[in-house]
């Protein structure tokens, strides 16, 4: 049809061409679902559209100084990251099934997996999952397949958002989830060792945990392996620049949220779940795995080595139907890690830890502010007790242009006055001092 706009006259001409009235055109749509009117505003010019979109985008900018963490962190992102990943050849529509056409993307995927293996000291990694929470769920399901058991132990120091996701995914499955209660900020070893048995598929822990406390799980790993169970560790990747790796603690599967590796916070996504494991479990791993091989000419080439979705292998051998293309987020993490390098990541992690320690001392010097967990090592997050409900204090600090932290009473009974505060390398000494002054004035 040669019509571009939608004036009433042109609408009548189009309807006449197909021999229908407007009512007949929408006759199959139930009356109750019909719009009452199509009174749309007039079209905008390019300049007007650009101005309007910029006005709307500005509403997404809070301009708050961020001390909020809980799994998602305001790290500095080098300009080169955006410059590289914004190249048009990386904006692929979907997963590169045809290796002969996709060598660049497949090589980047392979190198991303290699980076995750080096970071965690595990043997194999897949080509990414949705986010840290779904990655942890997938690791749990992987453990069930490996052990052919249905009992899972998870400590409540694991991110509560992740635990909600696990419960949501498994509520209709025959899985026995047992939750242990952390003791003074650390994983409850006594409780885990008491309930772990030969029916346990996996023990799920986190380091640093949701409270920011640093733990060591070698003893839990040994106990789990003695019972034929697996240890799953959820990790904060930046912390691995200076902390003991999950592999060194005896972890069998490692997952985490990759947002801190060069991905903006973006009001909730898209984010990046990473997963790595021991090589012996690779055939039970969900998602895709890119591998390096040789072509017919003996030249190095990259392919999708393993895909365990049901459309690729026999249905009863399939793992997860994870299929969203997270390649661009994985590429972002790869570029970020490549730019920082080993020493850069170590320095970034050390800055986070040092600045958090300074903030801890500065804030606990305020009358009425007390540390919730005394004598515990933390990475870049810590819990403070306030004299009033944390949610109310946080709301008042927002008025002073601070996203001051996470109110723990939302997920933990008896912690209504407790706040989780995060500090990254972006936070300056001046910003920490201004937060302390603002908090003191609010209290």
What stretches of 94-187 adopt beta strand conformation (E)?
124-125, 151-155, 176-180
Predicted confidence pLDDT, tens digits, the chain (443 residues)? 444 456 778 888 888 999 998 888 888 999 888 888 778 888 889 999 999 999 998 888 788 999 999 999 999 999 999 999 998 878 755 566 666 778 888 899 999 999 999 999 999 999 878 899 999 999 999 999 999 999 999 999 999 999 999 999 999 999 999 999 999 999 999 999 999 999 999 999 999 999 999 999 999 999 999 999 999 999 999 999 999 999 999 999 999 999 999 999 888 788 999 999 999 999 899 888 889 999 999 999 998 887 766 555 666 666 776 766 678 899 999 999 999 999 999 999 999 999 999 999 999 999 999 999 998 999 999 999 999 999 999 999 999 999 999 999 999 999 999 999 999 999 999 999 999 999 999 99
Reported as type and span, the H/E element at residue 306 is: strand 300-307
| Confidence at residue 2, expressed as pLDDT on a 0 to 100 scale | 44
Distances (CA, A) of 162 to 87, 241, 271: 33, 23, 14
In the beta sheet, which residues pair with residue 293?
A: 301
pTM, rounded to two decimals: 0.87
d(CA 247, CA 231): 10
The answer to whether residues 376 and 213 touch, using CB atoms and an 8 Å cutoff, is yes
CATH match for 79-336 among 3.30.56.10, 3.30.365.10, 3.40.640.10, 3.90.79.10? 3.40.640.10
| Confidence at residue 90, expressed as pLDDT on a 0 to 100 scale | 80
The domain defined by 65-73+343-442 folds into 3.90.1150
The answer to whether residues 227 and 196 touch, using CB atoms and an 8 Å cutoff, is yes
| Confidence at residue 323, expressed as pLDDT on a 0 to 100 scale | 63
In the chain, domain spans: 8-40, 65-73+343-442, 79-336
| Confidence at residue 383, expressed as pLDDT on a 0 to 100 scale | 98
Residues near 333 by Cβ (< 8 Å), separated by ≥ 6?
A: 112, 115, 258, 261, 262, 263, 272, 274
d(CA 167, CA 202): 15
Count Cβ atoms below 10 Å from residue 172 Cβ, excluding itself: 7
| Confidence at residue 316, expressed as pLDDT on a 0 to 100 scale | 65
């Amino acid at each position: 049809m040669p019509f571009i706009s939608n004036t009433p006259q042109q609408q009548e001409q189009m309807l006449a061409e197909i021999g229908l009235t407007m009512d007949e055109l929408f006759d199959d749509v139930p009356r109750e679902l019909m719009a009452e009117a199509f009174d749309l505003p007039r079209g905008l010019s390019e300049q007007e559209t650009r101005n309007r979109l910029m006005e709307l985008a500005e509403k997404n900018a809070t301009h708050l100084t961020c001390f909020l963490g809980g799994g998602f962190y305001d790290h500095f992102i080098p300009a080169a990251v955006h410059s590289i990943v914004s190249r048009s050849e990386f904006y692929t529509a979907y997963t590169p099934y045809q290796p002969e056409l996709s060598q660049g993307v497949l090589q980047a995927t392979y190198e991303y997996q290699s980076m995750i293996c080096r970071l965690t000291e595990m043997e194999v990694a897949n080509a990414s999952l949705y986010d840290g929470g779904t990655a942890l769920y997938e690791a749990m399901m992987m453990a069930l397949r490996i052990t052919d058991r249905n009992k899972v132990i998870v400590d409540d120091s694991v991110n509560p958002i992740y635990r909600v996701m696990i419960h949501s995914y498994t509520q209709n499955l025959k899985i026995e989830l047992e939750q242990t209660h952390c003791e003074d900020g650390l994983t409850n070893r006594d409780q885990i060792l008491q309930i772990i048995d030969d029916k346990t598929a996996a023990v799920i822990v986190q380091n640093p945990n949701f409270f920011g406390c640093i733990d060591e799980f070698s003893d839990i790993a040994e106990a789990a392996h003695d019972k034929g169970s697996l240890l799953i560790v959820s990790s904060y990747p930046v912390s691995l620049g200076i902390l003991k790796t999950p592999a060194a603690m005896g972890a069998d599967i490692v997952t985490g949220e990759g947002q801190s590796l060069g991905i903006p916070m973006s009001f909730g996504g898209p984010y990046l779940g990473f997963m790595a494991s021991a090589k012996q479990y690779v055939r039970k791993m969900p998602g895709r795995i890119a591998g390096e091989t040789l072509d017919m000419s003996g030249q190095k080439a990259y392919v999708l080595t393993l895909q365990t979705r049901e459309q690729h292998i026999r249905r009863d051998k399939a793992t997860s139907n994870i299929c969203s293309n997270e390649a661009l987020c994985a590429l972002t993490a790869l570029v970020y890690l490549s730019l920082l390098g080993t020493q850069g990541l170590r320095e970034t992690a050390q800055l986070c830890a040092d600045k958090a320690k300074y903030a801890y001392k500065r804030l606990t010097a305020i009358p009425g502010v007390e540390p919730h967990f005394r004598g515990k090592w933390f990475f870049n997050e810590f819990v403070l007790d306030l004299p009033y409900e944390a949610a109310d204090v946080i709301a008042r600090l927002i008025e002073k242009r601070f996203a001051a932290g996470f109110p723990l009473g939302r997920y933990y009974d008896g912690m209504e006055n407790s706040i989780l505060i995060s500090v990254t390398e972006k936070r300056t000494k001046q910003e920490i001092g201004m937060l302390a002054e603002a908090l003191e004035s609010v209290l």
